[in-house]
Amino acid sequence: MSKVASNPTPQPPCLEPAAAPPVPSERPLGRCAVNTVGALYLGLLRDRERLEILRAAIARQRSVLADVQQRAEAGIGNYGESLLAEIELKRWQTQEAEIIGSILHAELFFATAMESEPSAFVRPRLASSAWPEDEAVALVALAQQESIPGTELPAAEIALKHAWIDYRAARRALELLEPMSAFADDLARVSHDQYSLGQLALGTLLTRLRDAVPLQEAMVDAEYRLLAIQLAVLDLLGRRAALE
C-alpha cells in the first residue's frame, strides 16, 4: 500500500473512454483533442448504422401492421391486435427520433466547432500491414518509437497491454455476436411468414422482431468498439495514419 501511495499521480492515457463521450459545445484542445474528435466521429458513424437498423425495423413493423389490419378487415383479427401493432410501431419511431437527435448534434459539432464537416461518412479501415501480429510484436514496435521518451515508455507499455486485453475481449465478443444476430434476424423473418399464414400469434411475432434489433445494434457497437481499440493501439505505435 505504501508503495502505491508513494507513486506520483499517473496521467490518464489518451485512450477511448468506457462510455461514449458527450458532444462538446466547443472545439476540443490539448493532446487528447485528436482522440476526442476521432471518438465522436466513430460514434456518429455508429449511430448512422444504428439508425439504418431502426428504420429497417420500422419498415418491417409497418408491414406487420398492414397484415394485422387486413386480417381485421377479413374478420379473422380484432381491434386489440391492430392497436398493439400500432403501439409497437410508435415505439420504434420513438427510438428513431432519439437517435436522429444524437446524429444531428454530432453533425452540428463538426459543422460549427470543428469548422468543417467530415469529407465522407465512411467507416475507417485499417491497413492490414500496419496491425501487429500479436502483443509481443506490438510491444517491440512500441519500444522502437523515437517519439516516446524513455521515462514515459513504462506507462506506454502498460497502456498498450490494457488496450490489447480490450482488443482480445472485443474481438471475441464480435465473434459471438455475429451468429447470434444472424440467427435472430432469420427467426424474425420466418416468424413474420408464419404469422402471415396464421401459424403464429401476434404477440410472439412482435417479441421476436423486438429481440432481433438489440442484437443487431450490439453487433454494430462491438464492431466500432473493436475499431476504436485498434485505433488506440495504432496511436500508441505511431501508426495513426495507417488507414485505408
Q: Where are the alpha helices (DSSP H) in 8-134?
A: 33-73, 79-111
Q: What percent of the chain has pLDDT over 90?
A: 39
Q: Which domain holds residue 102?
A: 27-236
Evaluate whether residue 32 is within a structural domain: yes
**CATH number of domain containing 67:** 1.20.1600.10
Report CA-CA distances (Å) from 165 to 16, 23, 129, 171: 14, 27, 21, 10
Contact 209, 187 (CB under 8 A): no
Beta bridge partner(s), residue 243: 126
- Look at residue 125 and tell me whether its pLDDT is greater than 90: no
Phi, psi angle pair for 183, to nearest 5°: -65, -45
Tell me which residue has cell 428504420: 55
Contact 69, 82 (CB under 8 A): yes
Evaluate whether residue 67 is within a structural domain: yes
Evaluate whether residue 9 is within a structural domain: no
Evaluate whether residue 140 is within a structural domain: yes
- H-helix or E-strand spanning residue 139: helix 135-143
Evaluate whether residue 197 is within a structural domain: yes
0.85 exceeded by pTM: no
Q: To 10 degrees, what angle do helices 135-143 and 153-196 make?
A: 140
**What's the pLDDT tens digit per position in 218-241?**
999 999 999 889 888 888 888 765
Evaluate whether residue 7 is within a structural domain: no
- Total tally of structural domains belonging to the chain: 1
Give the per-residue pLDDT at 77: 72
Contact 58, 92 (CB under 8 A): yes
Evaluate whether residue 219 is within a structural domain: yes
Give the per-residue pLDDT at 1: 43
Q: How confident is the model at residue 124 (pLDDT cuts 50, 70, 90)?
A: confident
**What's the pLDDT tens digit per position in 157-183?**
998 899 999 999 999 999 999 999 899
Evaluate whether residue 177 is within a structural domain: yes
